[in-house]
């Protein structure tokens, strides 16, 4: 299917300087984990926030080299909190061990949970990537301000990529730690029922309206104009909605046929992610009353409403 839509521009020119501390601003250091993959780009970004007293955002994967790099960058300074944007294991697997080692409370948006209940015969395709057993010492709430080392952060709930996703904004600057909600290198994976496309759209609108300009994402480099990029991501997802409806209109009545129509030349791993996100678009359009979905043990059939 030929597309008439203009693609979003992603920036993949990022040098992670893996396992090395990179100063991004006063009181903000990034250390990127050595877990590069098609889903994590160059690896997960961990952020050390503060000057004399610190907080650690997203400790990352359970990797000894990454743990050593974080401890070296912390340099013996007290850590008052370990914060998680969300509980996918590439961000959270090291959190429990580091919380014990640093004697720091673990703070995030509650235990990992699905965005909706599983349907009959349904499985969560990313269930093994989720940190189901991790519990917070403190559950963070939308709109509250917390001390992160010797800096103040505002907590913003941003579900969509997953149900307990948070973003953190520095209260005295225009910097937002956007986690996996807004990234510059690629669009965010939204995989139902772990995530929700309706929530993702609402959270994009939310961060666009917040008073932050500079976004520091969980993967890839800094986004200089965060709200503009978030708006472009929203337009990109709206484009996918229209492409999906067009594909169904042209006879694609299964998810596989939709993916073939929209992503005809993409490699297998990209198509796997695309299939998950297309499922999220299907549910979103079904909720809007634009798509009819007939579900059965062997899959689903799509038709226009």
**How do the domains of the chain map onto residue ranges?**
22-235, 236-304
pLDDT digits (tens, 9 = 90+) for 51-78: 999 999 999 999 999 999 999 999 999 9
The two structure tokens encoding residue 164: 């307990």
Residue 4 has pLDDT above 80, yes or no: no
279 vs 212: CA distance, rounded Å: 31
Q: Is 168 helix (H, G, I), strand (E, B) or coil?
A: strand
| Pairing outcome for strands 28-32 and 138-139 | unpaired
Same fold, 22-235 and 236-304: no
Q: Which fold has domain 236-304?
A: Arc Repressor Mutant, subunit A (1.10.10)
Q: Which residues fall within 8 angstroms of residue 4, CB to CB, at 6 or more apart?
A: none
Q: Which of 53, 234, 61, 207 is nearest to 131 (CA)?
A: 61
Position of tokens 């929203």? Answer: 234
Q: Which residues of 210-245 are buried (b: 16+ CB within 10 A; e: fewer)?
A: bebebbbbbbbbbbeebbebbebbbebbebbbebbb
Do 158 and 173 contact (CB within 8 A), yes or no?
no
pLDDT tens digits for 174-225? Answer: 999 999 999 999 999 999 999 999 999 999 999 999 999 999 999 999 999 9
Strand partners of residue 49: 28, 55
Helical (H) or strand (E) element with 71: helix 64-74
> Tell me: domain 22-235, CATH 3.30.465.10, correct?
no
Sign for the pseudo-dihedral over CA of 210, 216, 220, 225: positive
pTM: 0.95
pLDDT for 1 equals 40
């Amino acid at each position: 299917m030929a597309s008439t839509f203009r693609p979003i521009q992603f920036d993949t020119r990022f040098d992670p300087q893996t396992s090395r501390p990179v100063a991004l601003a006063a009181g903000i250091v990034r250390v990127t984990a050595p877990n590069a993959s098609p889903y994590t780009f160059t690896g997960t970004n961990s952020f050390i926030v503060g000057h004399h007293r610190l907080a650690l955002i997203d400790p990352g994967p359970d990797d000894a080299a990454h743990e050593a790099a974080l401890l070296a960058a912390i340099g013996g300074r007290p850590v008052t909190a370990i914060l998680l944007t969300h509980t996918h294991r590439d961000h959270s697997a090291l959190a429990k061990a580091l919380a014990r080692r640093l004697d720091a409370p673990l703070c995030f948006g509650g235990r990992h949970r699905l965005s909706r209940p599983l349907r009959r015969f349904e499985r969560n395709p990313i269930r093994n990537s989720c940190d189901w057993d991790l519990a917070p010492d403190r559950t963070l709430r939308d709109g509250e301000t917390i001390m992160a080392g010797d800096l103040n952060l505002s907590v913003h709930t941003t579900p969509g990529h997953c149900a307990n996703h948070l973003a953190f904004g520095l209260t005295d600057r225009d910097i937002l730690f956007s986690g996996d909600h807004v990234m510059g290198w690629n669009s965010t994976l939204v995989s139902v029922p772990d995530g929700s496309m309706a929530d993702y759209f609402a959270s994009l609108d939310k961060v666009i309206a917040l008073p932050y300009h500079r976004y520091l994402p969980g993967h890839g480099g800094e986004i200089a104009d965060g709200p503009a990029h978030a708006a472009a991501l929203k337009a990109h997802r709206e484009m996918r909605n229209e492409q999906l409806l067009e594909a169904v209109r042209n006879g694609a009545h299964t998810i596989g046929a939709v993916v073939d129509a929209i992503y005809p030349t993409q490699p297998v791993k990209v198509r796997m992610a695309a299939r998950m996100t297309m499922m999220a678009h299907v549910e979103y359009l079904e909720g809007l009353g634009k798509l009819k979905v007939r579900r059965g043990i062997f899959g689903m059939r799509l038709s226009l409403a």
